[in-house]
Chain A
Amino acid sequence: MAEVLLKGVSKSFGAHHALRDVTLHVEDGAFVVLLGPTGAGKTTTLRMVAGLDVPDQGEISIGGHSVDGLTPAQRDVTMVFQQYSLYPHLTVRDNLAFPLKSSLLNTPKAEIDRKIGEVAEVLQISHKLDNKSTALSGGEMQRVSIGRALVRQPSVYLMDEPLSSLDAKLRADLRIELKRIQASLGATFLYVTHDQVEAMTMATHVGVLDEGRLVQFGTPRELYENPVSIYAASRLGQPRINILPADVFGDAPARATSIGLRPEQIRQGEGQESQVMRIERLGDQTRLHLSFRNHDLITVTDPHTTLKPGDIIAIRPERPFYFDAAGTRIS
């Protein structure tokens, strides 16, 4: 277990700037989730911590020591890849044993068997251990590759969207399982996802990346309740935050060009009139699509609402976010 520190790290691939001056402190035992759309630099960050890519500038240290020039093996990290991670010529068992058999660890056979048994149990793949790894379904493959990371006790676990190819039920199970493992080991996790539920439920800290820049870093709550920009605010929240012209509800702070409203920042039943366009009943919540002065709004209402399309409902912003022309939060 160790902390990870990135200091002023930049990386470009040709003309494309994958990371620009990123400084990130992953504390020992923290579960840090990196959020951002494809191309924001999440995977590049993991690859550089792992030692698969070398930063153009800046420094990376693990456990207080610079890892500059160290091979991935010497860094004592493990990584779950988004795809292509199982060795196709080996069985599931041999895939899980592979990291333990390296000359670095050279684990005794009994110990290997014990660890594989444990991990297979947790990931519900015990019955598949002697299958060829190519004979598995996508979800099973992904569980085995998570297993390959869990058999070791490295200083840092790196995970690149490990749950993205799993079905909803398994994803929910493994989310809890991974979090439990992380907490019980006190392990340091650096985890990439674009699934905000994973970010909200698992992370101790969330980092938001935008075109290679780390634009915000904090606890999931901080990020949700106090976003620094429209971009950061849009990363979290289901349904997404509504962005409207700042003056649509009347007076707005100077310089503000946009107002941001999460569903809970829209008070219903008082204020100005808007028209209900559509009702989406999701079971546990009901989404209300509103039209307010020709702007579309999505909010959440009582699951058992009697509203129907065409109805008029009064709404009023409550402690909204204001952003300037560049999308930066001003109040």
Chain B
Amino acid sequence: MSFSVTEPSSRTKWFAGTLVILYAIITIMPLLWIVATGFKSPSDAIAYPPKVVFEPTMEGYVNLFTERTRATPEMLEEAGPPETWYDEIVREKGMVISGESRYGQRFLNSVIIGFGSTALCMLLGTAAAYAFSRFRVPLKDDLLFFILSTRMMPPIAVSIPIFLMFRQIGLNDTHLGMILLYTAVNLSLSVWLLKGFIDEIPVEYEEAALIDGYTRMQAFTKVVLPQAATGIASTAIFCLIFAWNEYAFAVLLTSGTAQTAPPFIPTIIGVGGKDWPAVAAGATIFLVPVMVFTILLRKHLLRGITFGAVRK
């Protein structure tokens, strides 16, 4: 029988495969649950034992995006036949649509704040990481440690001073305030990660570009950035996931104009009965952007996370 050091035996492969599939099932269960609940009726959603097979309905999604009021049968008659499919779903419950919910706007806030802070974080992080990697910065090691030390306690530990500061300078419940806050929290991670990636790029490439007739800035944009793209992409995903999912600061610092989706979603549950399908629908839609972003950058992410293991 041939024996190879690099090729695992078929038993090892089976074992590893089973382990991966089990892990995938465990992690994907809650996701499937949320997606399924979004298409259930409120009674199916809380049925016990849980219903695996159910009649799907768009009620949750309609409730998510609309404001409704209870109507008397006379009022319903007066309003005439329902004009759209979502009108019809609402009428069946003895209600009429009274307006649009704030979910769309909260979702947009999440997009602006999440992507805004990620972009700012990448801009500042790449510049700082490049400087730390290439230039003789006074007190470099101390500065790097100082930057890292901002992550040595949970950010929420400083929420009270931040709240007071934000109130004082008028950043409470503003997009700018949240973008700055999430950028500040993420910056240490991005500087450290990106410095690692830029350190891996030999300085000889830039020197060659300088001699080839380019300025330092041109060497940075034409030679360093394309090679750091992988690292920048994977760092951006980490930053986006944090800013997108952040809950505690959002609850504390936003209430209206700049409120993001995470603190808003629980409020969908309503004042009457518990509207779990609408909450689940809100959560499902909330998952989509990060998923799309990650899938788009997946190729870079896989290569980026292996760090120095990549060919030099």
**Do A and B form a real pair?**
yes
Which chain A residues have a beta carbon within 8 Å of chain B's beta carbons?
A: 50-52, 71-73, 77-79, 81, 83-85, 87-89, 98-99, 102-105, 134, 145, 148
Interface residue count for B (Cβ, 8 Å)?
Answer: 17
Given known A89-B226, A134-B311, contact A84–B213 (CB-CB < 8 A): no
Q: Is A84 within 8 A of B311, CB to CB?
A: no
Contact of B204 among A72, A85, A98 (CB under 8 A): A85
Q: In the assembly, what is the distance between CA of A222 and CA of B160, in Å?
A: 80
B213 touches A102 (CB 8 A): yes
Q: Chain B residues with Cβ under 8 A from A72's Cβ?
A: 207, 210-211
Which residues on B sit within 8 Å (CB–CB) of A103?
Answer: 213-214, 218
List of B residues within 8 angstroms of A85 by Cβ: 204, 208
* Given A84-B205, A87-B208, 11 new contacts (CB under 8 A): A51-B211, A72-B207, A73-B214, A78-B211, A78-B212, A79-B208, A81-B207, A87-B223, A89-B226, A102-B213, A103-B218
- A84-B211 in contact (CB<8A): no
Contact between chains at A73 and B204 (CB < 8 Å): no
Chain B residue contacts of A87, Cβ below 8 A: 205, 208-209, 223
B residues near A145, Cβ cutoff 8 Å: 208
Q: Contact check, A98 vs B212: say whether CB atoms are below 8 A apart.
A: yes
Contact of A73 among B210, B223, B227 (CB under 8 A): B210
Taking CB atoms, residues of chain A closer than 8 Å to B227 are 88-89
CA distance in complex: A79, B205 (Å): 12
Interface of A is mostly: loop
- Looking at the assembled complex, report how far the CB atom of A306 sits from the nearest CB atom of chain B, in whole angstroms: 53
Chain A residues near B223 (CB-CB < 8 A): 87
Cβ B204 vs Cβ A81 within 8 A:
yes
A77 CB, nearest partner CB in chain B, Å: 6
Residues in chain B near residue A84, CB distance under 8 A: 202, 204-205
Residues of A contacting B211 in the complex (Cβ-Cβ under 8 angstroms): 50-52, 72-73, 77-79
Residue of A nearest to B206 (CB): A52
The A-contacting residues of B in range 191-238, CB under 8 angstroms, are 202, 204-205, 207-215, 218, 223, 226-227
Asked if A104 and B213 sit within 8 Å, CB to CB, the answer is yes
Given contacts A81-B207, A89-B227, whether A148 and B202 have CB atoms under 8 Å apart is no
Chain B, Cβ-Cβ closest to A78: B211
Classify the secondary structure of B's interface with A: helix
Which A residues are in CB contact (< 8 Å) with B207? 52, 72, 81
CA distance A283 to B209 in the complex (A): 45
Residues of B within 8 A of A (CB): 202, 204-205, 207-215, 218, 223, 226-227, 311
Can you list 14 residue pairs at the A/B interface with Cβ under 8 Å? Answer: A71-B215, A73-B211, A73-B212, A77-B211, A79-B208, A79-B211, A84-B204, A85-B204, A87-B208, A88-B227, A89-B226, A98-B212, A99-B212, A99-B213
Give the shortest distance, in Å, between B129 (CB) and chain A (any CB).
18
Taking the closest CB of chain B, its distance from the CB of A84, in whole angstroms, is: 4
Tell me the smallest distance from the CB of A181 to a CB of chain B, in Å: 18
Complex CA–CA separation, A105 to B218 (angstroms): 14
Most buried by B among A73, A77, A104: A73
Residue of A nearest to B223 (CB): A87
Minimum Cβ distance to chain A for residue B176 (Å) = 35
Smallest beta-carbon distance A142→chain B, Å: 13
User: A104 to B215, alpha carbons, bound, how many Å?
Assistant: 10
Bound together, the chains give a CA A81 to CA B206 distance in angstroms of 12
Q: What is the chain A residue whose CB lies nearest that of B208?
A: A85
Which residue of chain A lies nearest to B229 when distances are taken between CB atoms in the complex? A89
B209 partner residues in chain A, CB cutoff 8 A: 87, 98
Closest chain B CB from A313 CB (angstroms): 52
In the assembled complex, how far is the CB of residue A78 from the closest CB belonging to chain B, in whole angstroms?
A: 6
| Pair A81/B213 contact, Cβ less than 8 Å | no
A105 and B213 form a contact (CB under 8 A) = yes
Task: Give the distance to chain A from B133, nearest Cβ to Cβ, in Å.
Answer: 16
Chain B residues, CB < 8 A from A73: 210-215
CB distance B208 to A81 under 8 Å?
yes
Q: Shortest CB–CB separation between residue B220 and chain A, in angstroms?
A: 13
**Chain B residues within an 8 Å CB radius of A148:** 208, 212
